[in-house]
Amino acid sequence: MHYVPAATICAETSGDNVHGLFASHVASSIIAGNNAIIAINPDFIKDIKVDPILLSHKMAAIVKQVIDHTDLHELLIEGGATAWAILERLNIEKLYPSKLIAPGVIHMRVAGNNQLCLTLKPGSYPWPAPVWATNNYTCI
């Protein structure tokens, strides 16, 4: 689990240079053959005021930088606003459902990119267990 640094969360902008070091750390983990989860530590933000829209755009900028520096094939995204910001940042306009994992949790292929697949889930409930099974989904 890679928690977004406090400095990134608290920054007043979502500029790429603010996220570069963290994104490089996450990319290095993926290149080393590990999975990577980028998350916001809820204990950190419970006592501070954070603009949720800006936070979604910061997450999108981080994900874009990670994808730009890795050979990532599978991306799991939680939360509607976060998903929208990430899809917009990656210029993804069309998705094709390939598998219903659980109600509201859908594995999809990206139109025009047969190397990247997405699994999207609303933020209101936990990830279902099948998501964490290794090699459970493949881009086809």
Tens-place pLDDT, residues 38-85 = 888 888 887 888 888 888 999 999 999 999 999 888 899 998 899 999
111: confidence class by pLDDT, cuts 50, 70, 90: very high
pLDDT in tens, 12-37: 766 656 678 889 989 998 888 878 88
The set of long-range contacts for 54-59, using a CB threshold of 8 Å and a minimum separation of 24, is 54/14, 55/9, 56/81, 56/82, 56/84, 56/85, 57/14, 57/85, 57/89, 58/4, 58/8, 58/9, 58/11, 58/14, 58/18, 58/19, 59/4, 59/85, 59/86
pLDDT the model gives residue 49: 84
